[in-house]
Structure 1
Amino acid sequence: MNIRLLIFCLFLVIAKANAQQDSTKATLTLAAMYNSNISYYGQVTAEKYPYVLFNATLRFHNGLYFSGGGYKLLNYGSAISETDLGIGYDHDFNDKFTAGLAYTHSFFPANSPLLQASNSNNINASGAYQWPWLKTDLSLDFAFGKQRDLFLSLSNSKEIELGSIFNENNLLSITPAIEITAGTTRFYETYIIEKSKRQNSNGNGNGKSGSAPGIINGNTTETIENSTNQFQLLAYNFKLPLNWSTGNFLAEASYQFSILGNRNQEDVKHQQSFFGLAVYYQF
């Protein structure tokens, strides 16, 4: 049986087992987001790709949810850059500990310039614990498709309420967070191969994308392959989102500073900054 079909059937079994709890109540959350560059578990390409993202999530009271969305790179091509469909389940064990399991399948166009294009499937297991002074999140991701990669992320955050503006229903808050991400980077092998193909199609490798190391030199290729199989530190991320909420509406302005630990891409700066804007509305 196809592994994607098996995963989907597993979630349907979970949904049926929990349907008796209370599946009559559901919320629909719509989201729109802009970010100055796209990243994949802390990794970026030499080219910056600002993008806009749209997402819809239908969440049931029993913890089951379905999601769908996509995004468009603002400086690459005219078509949608990626679309995705997901299914997941969250469970609150108590008022402090929550765990979840989710599966997402992504659709990428041919010749996608994105690092994650080789891994169109993702299984995520996560847990969150609310301590008296901060919240700890642990996330394990298995990404697979043309390649197979494993990622582990640990984050500590603290929500700080800044008070209300205009009236008591308009609240401001910040949630500073420190995140460490580690994993394998087999996806990078496919990325440099596809990048070389795009360069050659632009004429003798002189395209806009720059050089694609490891394609011609066999020794360099072997070095990259050995490196990508290692489970290694990928990034330290420092996040500072500012949130404004009123009723069912939430707006967010965010800044993220990342220090990259992976040295595969020599033409990528190892200090990266990301700026984002997002809006959410829940029905």
Structure 2
Amino acid sequence: MNSQAEVIPYELPAWTEAAHDDRAVHFRRSLMQFRDQFAQLLNRYPTSAQHSMELDAVIDAYTAFVTNTDHELLWTELMQPSSVAEELTKLAAELRASSSLCVGIAEKYRALKLLSGHTEGSDYFHHVEASIGEPFGSFPLTSDSTVIWIGSGAFPMTALFLARQTGATIIGIDIDAEAISLGRKVVERLGAGLDIRLELAPAEQLPEIGKATHLIFSSTVPEKFELLDQLHACTGRQIVAAVRYGNGLKSLFNYPMAAVDERKWRLAEHVSRSGRVFDLALYQQA
């Protein structure tokens, strides 16, 4: 993840169609406030422990906002075809990008805290950890499984959980060198004896890609469906790909589901998680 990506401010024009609805006005103002907070937090990294606490507080508030069922109903109502929906779509794209970058930064702070002897977490990370569960639904891992996790980040909690629970081999990759460096130190601290490796490399260049049994795509990887398409050629028929995503209100925090080439991949299973920050789609080769 590139924490230095620029977030371009976007100003919503005054609404007319929903101005009569106090809930809609409050909803819009909340999104704009989150947008501004994320932009400020991105511009201040890296700084201090105080900044880390502020970042966690904003991410936790955003998590609560995105997983609120009343907000989901209002989002559905506001996203009916109209100029309001068009403007919300643009704002959602910016929030999705900036919040994903902020999560990457929060993972780095969490790793640094762990390495300095502090272990407190945030509500967002508790949501993610609670959502790990059985990430492959009807296609469980065993000690013979090899998992490639795309977008492993600086605090590879999924890798640690899965390796500890199943004995599987976990290979995490990321495009962020700082995240890989911190993630390796976290694994050294928390995953002694576990078969986990973190690499700064594309998935297709891993020696294990052809024999891998499972793929995981982080919900904050923007191009995950493009990568899934590309990896069809170098993965085997045994592969099961778990794609974390978020549609509807959850798309404020996750890159949404996209169409796949049905000649390459078929949707084998779908796991919707009410009250969780992302959902899961499982694919097999067609």
Q: Which structure has greater strand proportion?
A: 1
Q: Which has the higher contact order (CA 8 A, sep 6+)?
A: 2
TM-score class normalised by the smaller sequence: under 0.3
Give the number of the structure whose residues are more often helix, by fraction. 2
Decide which structure has the larger Cα Rg and report it: 1
Give the TM-score of the pair, scaled to structure 1: 0.23
TM-score scaled by structure 2?
A: 0.23
